Structure 1
Amino acid sequence: MAGMGPNRRPLLAAAVFLLSWQTSQLVMTAFIGGRSTARQVRISRQAEGYSLRYFDVRGAAETIRLLFAAAGQDYEDFRYPLNFGVPGDFSTIQRKEFDEDKASGILDIALGKVPVLNVGDFTLPQSKAIERYLARKLGMMGDDEVEEALVDAMAEHVRDINDAYSRKGLFFMKDEEKKAELQKKWYAEELPDWLSKLEKALPGSDGYAVGSKASLADVAIFKLLKDTYPDDVSAVYDSCPKVKAIVDNIAKNEGIKKWLADRPETFL
């Protein structure tokens, strides 16, 4: 596609996208180096006592982390390590600490999955529920009930786009020729069509998806276009002024800039 150069992000970065739907299985991870290191990253003074549990990858937790970053909110970024018994063999993935916590029952409320958000004695599962809860707590869910509903709707539009890409099954596709053909069509035809529809749907202006300040919808759009695909898709949304303004606006956020520069390096 014109304007789409070979600006590739880390190997198999597209798999981050797929992990959002199968986090409990972790059979969709990519492999670089054999294992991930244990991390319990304390971003903070933890003023509100937020603690996020997820694997040591971006996946389904990254929009949540971006929300924390955009709002400048301290939290504990607890990461379960992932190890490969046999390098590159997905069937040998080992998650000792995660499996121990799952067996102990502390993840029962989450059906044995992550991400999970802990706030004092309160535990909240499901990535989208966490995103909406945090957006409300952090003042990023609109200024009234109407704006909140619109923020929710715009974030769901983004999920529709994510789902459309996920259904292609590109990560496990062994036919490289077919895979390349599907990717080319996605970038050249389907993603532009989706973004054109999103552009028309956005009720906000001046760099905001809804209302007059950054919200979950803005962060979700930024995540979709700047932290999901292995290719630079800026040429795709250049023709969508509202979408482009949102991406550019979030990219200028000091917390977002710091997070993208300092976040842990992971194999996925």
Structure 2
Amino acid sequence: APKFRLHYFDFTGRGEPIRILLTYGGLEFDDIRIEKKDWPKVKPSALGQLPVLEFQGHMIPQSTAICRFLANKANLSGKDEFENLKIDVAVDTIEDLKKVSEWAYEKNEEKKKALEETTLKEHVPFFLKKLEIHAEKNGGYLALNRVISWADVYMATEYEGYMNFFDRDVLTDYPNLQRVIRSVLTEPRVQQWIRKRPRIASFTYDLRNHL
């Protein structure tokens, strides 16, 4: 079997859905974790960005493209074009939600606090409501009716990020999105990775809490 090598920081972030998909698909891989201090040295060979998946001599960038590629191998993509379109819609909505965290880079503390409040009261609910509708329609899954896809895996890893980033549970008012997280975390092959992965020292919340 071909060997995969994932290059990413010693963190969850955009590397984590990739690690779960590789484990879920039974695809053997080297989990190469780069320390922040070593990044300037590694940057030129990593196409200037991480994650990068090394496969059969190719260096593949862009996390969602990597996830789509691995989902095909792990049987977590759709059965046809339309199902794959629904997965992409869900993932793109999660990507839009990622962008709302840009307030964190504000240097002025007062402005930063105000931006965080606006983000939590307006921007985050705007996207979560859309995802909640998908999850309700699909019986606790984001894209496919009562069937797990890589969109659900993507959401679960994002949720862990939100819990640590905002230091509160942003899914309290979204019961069907909570079902999505549970659906993913009851999968034995997902649990396999979560149980054995390295802990992130700065995290107050870990997906292990759900197992």
Aligned to 1:11: none
Cross-structure match for 2:119: 186
Q: Does the aligned pair in 2 maintain the 1:199–1:240 contact within 8 Å?
A: yes
Does the aligned pair in 1 maintain the 2:52–2:62 contact within 8 Å?
A: yes
For residues 160 and 12 of structure 2, the distance between their equivalents in structure 1, rounded to whole angstroms, comes to 13
- Output one character per residue of 1:30-87: Cα deviation in whole Å (capped at 9) or x when no partner: xxxxxxxxxxxxxxxxx4411111222333322212322444443111122333xxxx
3-state SS in 2 of match to 1:228 = helix
Match of 2:15 among 55, 61, 66: 61
Higher gyration radius (CA): 1
Matched, 1:152 2:85: no
Count of aligned pairs: 200
Distance in 1, matches of 2:109 and 2:190, equals: 35
Structure 2 letter corresponding to 1:82: K
Q: 2:176: which partner in 1?
A: 242
Q: Deviations over 1:115-144 (max 9, x none)?
A: 211222333222121111111121111121
Query: What is aligned with 2:76?
Result: 140
Q: Which amino acid is 1:218 matched to?
A: D
Q: Paired residue for 1:95?
A: 39
Tell me what 1:207 maps to: 140
Which stretches in structure 2 are left out of the alignment for 5+ residues? 203-211
Name the amino acid aligned to 1:98.
Answer: V
The amino acid across from 2:34 in the alignment is Y
For residues 264 and 241 of structure 1, the distance between their equivalents in structure 2, rounded to whole angstroms, comes to 29
Q: 1 or 2, which has the higher helix percentage?
A: 2
Measured on the aligned residues, the alpha-carbon RMSD in Å equals 2.6
TM-score by length of 1: 0.64
- The residue type equivalent to 1:144 in the other structure is D
Q: Could you tell me whether the CA contact under 8 Å between 2:24 and 2:74 is conserved in 1?
A: no
The CA deviation at 1:157 is: 0.7
Residue aligning to 2:58: 122
- 1:77 and 2:13 matched: no
The yes-or-no answer on 1:257 pairing with 2:195 is no
Instruction: Decide whether aligned partners of structure 1 residues 98 and 155 sit closer, same or farther in structure 2, where only a CA change above 3 A counts.
Output: same
Distance of 1:56 and 1:162 partners within structure 2:
20
Could you list the per-position Cα deviations for residues 209-235 of structure 1 after superposition, in whole angstroms to 9, with x for gaps in the alignment? 22232112111211222233424544x
The question of whether the paired residues in 1 share the 8 Å contact of 2:76 and 2:148 is answered with yes
**8 Å Cα contact 1:53-1:79 kept in structure 2:** yes
Contact 2:131 2:142 in 1 (8 A): no
Task: Using structure 2 for the length normalisation, give the TM-score.
Answer: 0.79
Identity of aligned residues (%): 28
The answer as to whether partners of 2:100 and 2:123 remain within 8 angstroms in 1 is no
Task: Kindly indicate whether the alpha-carbon contact (under 8 Å) linking 2:7 and 2:53 is maintained by their aligned counterparts in 1.
Answer: yes
Quote the residue 1:173 is aligned against.
106
